[in-house]
Structure 1
Amino acid sequence: MKLKFLTTAAALACLTLGTAAHAETLRLSHQWSNTDVRNKVAEIVANGVAEADVDLEIQIFGSQSLFKAREQYRPLSRGQLDMTVLPLSYAGGQQPAFNLTLMPGLVKNHDHAARLSESPFMAALEEKMADDDVMVLVHGYLAGGFVGKDKCITKPEDVAGSQIRAAGKSFEQMLAGAGASIASMASSELYNGLQTGVLTAANTSSSSFVSYRIYEQVKCYTPAGDVALWFMYQPMLINKSKFESLTEEQQAALLAAAEKAQAFYLEEAKKEDASSEQVFRDAGVEIAQMSQADFEAWRALAQKHPTSLHRRSA
């Protein structure tokens, strides 16, 4: 009887150890607050794998608490970070092709953005990411607009003489061509830049304008509407080797949760533009609208002042 008990106990111990050996905790880093849509996307994935009960946990570190906004891709590619939600153009210095995910007028609307995520264009970018040991879990584009500290911005001549932040080389080149001075910084630094006078204007996503309370520092907001010049690819990424080290059940749970998160991301992205406009309006900020003629003027300017990346891609 004693021998039988010991044998049973040993079997249970081996089973417990075997289960524990597959338990994984993944660290996910991003730069936004817990009310931002990109944090909600992260939460959907984290909750999804928790509900799947496959010994997989995702810990979310928001508001740059783990890595600075522009410093996440490199540690991800080196296996020092497991997951991130990141504007891919932030990593354009490491992979110049990533700058293609933020080009003036490239994306027409949110449905077009969703189609781009399933296109040969995105497949080629994913090959670049795979070279860095990175893979996409959740595709997502967000639209954005302009803010002005002292005036409205709808057309190129409106930025002449301004000190402006733009995300991505293509936008910086275009805005410089319109006579603006460029200040390069992450969207998380916009509030301080506008508050201290380092910036007089900026463009970023509708979500970031609200998440970072930019309505407290500006006179006028030009939101993404029927005409949107600014679309930025901001996916959830995972270290490829880490994903491949997970069990089949853990991988399946992660992919299923990511699929739900991607559907949510697209629908919420569509809502963010209108809701951000209302937030700025309620805060007493003037609302301006970009016309189709304004849009065409910006695109013509972008074509007139192409970056070296554009020339290589032409």
Structure 2
Amino acid sequence: MNALMTRRQLLLGLAGAPLAAAFARRAGAAGKIDLKISHQFPGGTLTEGDFRDRLCRKFAAELAQRTGGAVAATVYPGSSLMKTNAQFSAVRKGALDLSLVPISYAGGELPELNIGLMPGVVTSYEQGMAWKRSEVGKYFSDLLADKGVLMVSWIWQAGGVACRSKAIVEPDDARAQKVRGGSREMDMVLKTAGATVLSLPSNEIYAAMQTGALDAAMTSSTSLMSFRLEEVSKQLVTGRGKAYWFMLEPLIMSRAIFERLPKDVQATVMQLGAELETFATEMAKADDQQVAVAYQKAGAQTHDLSEATVRRWQDIARATAWKDFAARNDRCAKLLALAEKTL
């Protein structure tokens, strides 16, 4: 036995052995279950690369192990299976099994989802992860489930800003710059600050900045590195320590597909998804630190935000994006009210 194996790991392995054997027997009788996991981020391995891709691979590997190979999952990185903006709708309709996707990308389809990139509403990882166990998280999960989507892993990421020339630290710095905000609500804040906004997925930012179509882009720390934006940036505003927006990028699953699975497989999927949330949070925090190192090595200047600066951005958001979001429908108003309880 490996000396590094803890007693807890051993007990978990022994407890899971009968379950895996049961799954294997079922697979032999009914056939193997194959799931597809799609995401837009660069591909890697279980141990190297973008942590969101690694999380999907860990999910797939552990799912196969716990079910004795009865359930397999294949990861399709880099939008290789389908286009980025089609993934949420495909999950909702049962045309795709799972996806790890910035939930606000589907805000045009379901406006309530823009709460997942609402500037100033989440200001720390601890607050964001507390949503799952609070009224706002339960309401959000129920809303998604009613639309055919299940939250498997809650994943929050702090955002930063990559800039071709002038750093956008204070709201006034955004004036006359062409900026990618990432959501309708973030775009409203930027417009109020005087920016021109462009809407495009994170895997298209590099080309837009390279050609000058974009001056700056707001995205997660992990994407700031994974998409090599340091190659086209001279300034970086980090999300480490303080941030005025956090992005919800969950691992989601089609409810229709989920409900076709045996009950014990359903339980395994949800348990595994919850276990991977700790990994996601640790990796996201590590990337908030690592992104500054990566950009400095590339010759870019880095800037951190003060509490006062975060409040100035939050004040604009409260007067614009929050107000607009709450007025869209009763569900949006309730989501925002419940989210504000966590501040």
TM-score (norm 2): 0.84
Q: State the identity %.
A: 29
Of 59, 64, 67 in structure 1, the residue corresponding to residue 79 of structure 2 is 64
Q: Which residue of 2 aligns with 1:183?
A: 198
The DSSP-based 3-state class of the residue aligned with 1:232 is: strand
Alpha-carbon displacement from aligned partner over 1:124-144 (angstroms, at most 9, x marks no partner): 111221122111111110001
Q: Which residue of 2 aligns with 1:5?
A: none
The DSSP-based 3-state class of the residue aligned with 1:199 is: coil
On the 8 A contact 2:120/2:314 being kept in 1, the answer is yes
Q: Which residue of 2 aligns with 1:94?
A: 109
The offset of 1:220, in angstroms, is: 0.2
The DSSP-based 3-state class of the residue aligned with 2:123 is: coil
Of 277, 287, 293 in structure 2, the residue corresponding to residue 272 of structure 1 is 287
| Aligned equivalents of 1:251, 1:292: Cα separation in 2 | 43
| Aligned equivalents of 1:240, 1:264: Cα separation in 2 | 24
| Counterpart check, 1:260 vs 2:250 | no
The structure number with the bigger radius of gyration is: 1
Alpha-carbon displacement from aligned partner over 1:74-98 (angstroms, at most 9, x marks no partner): 1111111000001111111111111
| Aligned equivalents of 2:210, 2:27: Cα separation in 1 | 55
Write out aligned runs for 1:294-309 (5 A).
Answer: 294-306=309-321, 308-309=324-325
On the 8 A contact 1:48/1:254 being kept in 2, the answer is no
| Counterpart check, 1:40 vs 2:54 | yes
Of 213, 216, 220 in structure 1, the residue corresponding to residue 228 of structure 2 is 213
Q: Which residue of 2 aligns with 1:82?
A: 97
| Aligned equivalents of 1:133, 1:109: Cα separation in 2 | 29
Q: Which residue of 2 aligns with 1:31?
A: 40
Q: Which residue of 2 aligns with 1:311?
A: 327
Alpha-carbon displacement from aligned partner over 1:87-128 (angstroms, at most 9, x marks no partner): 111111111111111111111211111101222111111122
The offset of 1:30, in angstroms, is: 0.2
TM-score (norm 1): 0.91
| Aligned equivalents of 1:22, 1:99: Cα separation in 2 | 39
The offset of 1:254, in angstroms, is: 2.0
**In the superposition, relative to structure 1, how do residues 153 and 55 fare at CA in structure 2: closer, same or farther (>3 Å)?**
same
Q: Which residue of 2 aligns with 1:131?
A: 146
| Aligned equivalents of 2:144, 2:326: Cα separation in 1 | 20
Q: Match for 2:324: what amino acid?
A: S
Aligned pair count reads 300
| Aligned equivalents of 1:111, 1:154: Cα separation in 2 | 24
| Aligned equivalents of 1:225, 1:262: Cα separation in 2 | 19
Write out aligned runs for 1:102-251 (5 A).
Answer: 102-251=117-266
State the structure with bigger RCO (CA 8 A, min sep 6), 1 or 2. Answer: 1
On the 8 A contact 1:29/1:85 being kept in 2, the answer is yes
Following TM superposition, the consecutive aligned residue runs of length 4 or more in structure 1 with deviations greater than 6 angstroms are: 15-18
The DSSP-based 3-state class of the residue aligned with 1:304 is: helix
| Aligned equivalents of 1:17, 1:207: Cα separation in 2 | 39
Q: Which residue of 2 aligns with 1:6?
A: none
| Counterpart check, 1:291 vs 2:302 | no
Q: Which moved more, 1:255-264 or 1:160-169?
A: 255-264
The DSSP-based 3-state class of the residue aligned with 1:72 is: helix
| Aligned equivalents of 1:56, 1:251: Cα separation in 2 | 11
Structure 2: gaps (5+ residues): 1-23, 44-48, 338-343
The DSSP-based 3-state class of the residue aligned with 1:280 is: helix
The DSSP-based 3-state class of the residue aligned with 2:158 is: strand
| Aligned equivalents of 2:26, 2:131: Cα separation in 1 | 45
| Aligned equivalents of 1:150, 1:16: Cα separation in 2 | 60
On the 8 A contact 2:27/2:70 being kept in 1, the answer is no
| Aligned equivalents of 2:309, 2:273: Cα separation in 1 | 37
Q: Which residue of 1 aligns with 2:88?
A: 73
